[in-house]
Amino acid sequence: MAETATAMIAAGNTQAIDRHKLGLMLGAFIGGWHVVWSVLVLVEWAQAVINFLFWLHFIAPPYQVGSFVLWRAAVLIGFTAAIGYCAGWIIGTVWNQVHRS
């Protein structure tokens, strides 16, 4: 029978995380999320999406989405991907320090 994650941690059976791979994965996810947002802005669907999301949360939409600017989209994607990489690297480092054997 497979052990649960909690039982494995309690027994000290945790593996080290490759902080570089975690950083790449988190950076790709967050950067990719912003690629999707930039495409929504490009095809002029972003305002409808954000209005819907605010409506779901019972909030009157206070923001107006601006027009698409290529260099700004590139900076947004690159910056958020870099922040995601750094966050993943830090999380991996902390995980490995906490779960040393």
pLDDT tens, residue by residue, 26-84: 999 999 999 999 999 999 999 999 999 999 999 999 999 999 999 999 999 999 999 99
Q: Which pTM value belongs to this model?
A: 0.81
Domain boundaries, position 53: 18-98
From the list 89, 74, 71, the residue with the least C-alpha distance to 31 is 74
Banded pLDDT at 99 (limits 50, 70, 90): confident
* 5 found inside a domain: no
Whether 4 maps to a domain, the answer reads no
- Dihedral Cα 73, 76, 81, 82, nearest 10 deg: 130
Q: Answer yes or no: is 77 within a domain.
A: yes
**6 located within any domain:** no
pLDDT of residue 101: 66
Q: Is residue 13 part of a domain?
A: no
Q: Give the Cβ contact number of residue 78 at 10 Å.
A: 13
Q: What six digits make up the tokens of 12?
A: 């000290």
Q: Is the dihedral of CA 28, 15, 93, 90 positive or negative?
A: positive
The answer to whether the CB of 77 falls within 8 A of the CB of 28 is no
Residues 37-57, buried b or exposed e (16+ Cβ, 10 A)? Answer: bbebbeeeebeeebeeeeeee
> Does residue 7 lie within any of the structural domains?
no
In total, how many domains does the chain have?
1
- More confident position, 15 or 78: 78
Calculated CA dihedral for residues 75, 81, 87, 92, nearest 10 degrees: -150
